[in-house]
Amino acid sequence: MFGWRRPSGRAAAQGASADAPPGMSAGGAQRRADALMRHLEWTVVRHLDGLLQGDYRTLFRGFGIDFADLREYKPGDDVRYIDWNVTARVQTPYVREFQEDREVAAWFLLDLSGSVDFGSGDVRKRALLADFTAVMARLLTRHGNRVGAMLYSGQSDARPVVVPARSGRRHVLHLIDRMQAMPSAARGETRLGDLLDHARGSVSRRSALFVVSDFISAPGWETSLGHLARHHDVVAVRLIDPLESALPDLGLLVLQDAETGEQMLVDTHDAAFRKRFAEAAAARDAGLRDAFGHAGVSCLSLVTDARLDLALLRFAQERRRPGVAAKGVARPAAAVVADVAGAARDRARASRMEGNGVATEVRASRPNAVRGLS
């Protein structure tokens, strides 16, 4: 079978408990979770925490800020915080004031459907999912924050397994243990939208949400993702294997769909077929970028043969840049048109309010407008 083989070594140790011998004791599972956590703390967490210099909040743009009050605009205030509705009603510019919520509540929405068991090398996407979740959860709890998770098999008749949000290293170990204990999903079409809808109904307080998936799913999740992003700071963490983008020339191969079991005999020696495969993969990539852009979420792409810490650092650097979408997110044409129209409306508002003493910088007040302010 092409690709859907069981990996060996560290990747297998990080997979689902279905890989473990029957009757594995709880103590054995805890030891495996602790071994993984120690390895990641030594190789990734401390290194990443040091490079970020404690500024882990760069991974959550706009998170941790709650509305506090309104007051009149003063020269020098950040024009992005002008409340246009109040300003229009009272004919005097008002800005919003915010207070920082020091505690971050983060949730990991984990897609553990059949397709994440794929891996063309030593590491499956499921192992990459576990590594990312463990690293981010430990990075957050090291600073006193709470993390929770929803583990989803992808099947429409299965509710997500919920790990309540708590803090501390022991809680992260418990989370890792629950991930490792989650069996490989039965065959069937993944419905990622069900997981997103469940999170929308369950997480009431504004939180940082990491949707960790390969986004191989039945359609409809895009709308659910947009609804979720209206209330939370959402990061789409996309799991990728290089073989999903380009097929090598290996002759006749049997490809099998990990979720439906459907098989297909293909000739990878056929250059035209390999080209069509690459074009289809590129079209899917573009479709996902558009979906993330329309939903208003950032995308962090993780590849099974790349270093996790470097991917996280690049993502944090992108989030620090004002007015620039995170890597992997392409702003759709409709959003650009909306920004241009919004900028025109802002200029009109500015001209009406110049007599009220508002600085001329208000003319570029719309977030992500033509000048690229954010």
CATH hierarchy code of domain 106-348: 3.40.50.410
CA 141 to chain centre: 18
3-class DSSP string for 13-55: HCCCHHHCCCCCCHHHHHHHHHHHHHHHHHHHHHHHHHHHCCC
- Residue matched to tokens 């709470």: 146
In 3D space, the residue among 128, 144, 364 whose CA is nearest the CA of residue 237 turns out to be 128
More confident residue, 250 or 13: 250
Distance (Å) of CA 249 to CA 14, 271, 275, 347: 30, 8, 11, 57
CB within 8 Å of 245: residues ≥ 6 apart: 278, 281, 282, 285
Report helix, strand and coil shares of the chain as percent, to nearest 5. Answer: 45, 20, 35
Distance between CA 27 and CA 34 in Å, rounded?
10
More confident residue, 349 or 6: 349
Distance (Å) of CA 253 to CA 96, 116, 256, 270: 60, 21, 10, 12
Q: What is the pLDDT of residue 291?
A: 97
Sorted by where each begins, the domain ranges of the chain are 106-348
184-193, 248-257, 265-274, 341-350: least confidently modelled range: 341-350
More confident residue, 193 or 16: 193
- The phi-psi region of residue 120 (left if phi > 0; otherwise alpha if psi is between -120 and 50; otherwise beta) is alpha
pLDDT at 16 over 80: no
Q: Mean pLDDT over all residues of the chain? A: 75
Q: Are strands 208-213 and 161-166 parallel, antiparallel or unpaired?
A: unpaired
Q: What is the pLDDT of residue 334?
A: 36
Q: Are strands 105-111 and 233-240 parallel, antiparallel or unpaired?
A: unpaired
What pTM was estimated for this model as a whole? Answer: 0.68
pLDDT at 125 over 80: yes
61-75, 248-262, 307-321: least confidently modelled range: 61-75
pLDDT at 366 over 50: no
Tokens of 220: 């409809």
Q: Are strands 252-256 and 263-267 parallel, antiparallel or unpaired?
A: antiparallel
pLDDT > 90: percent of the chain: 39
Coil, strand or helix at 264: strand
Please report how many Cα atoms fall inside a 13 Å half-sphere around the Cα of residue 163, on the Cβ side.
28
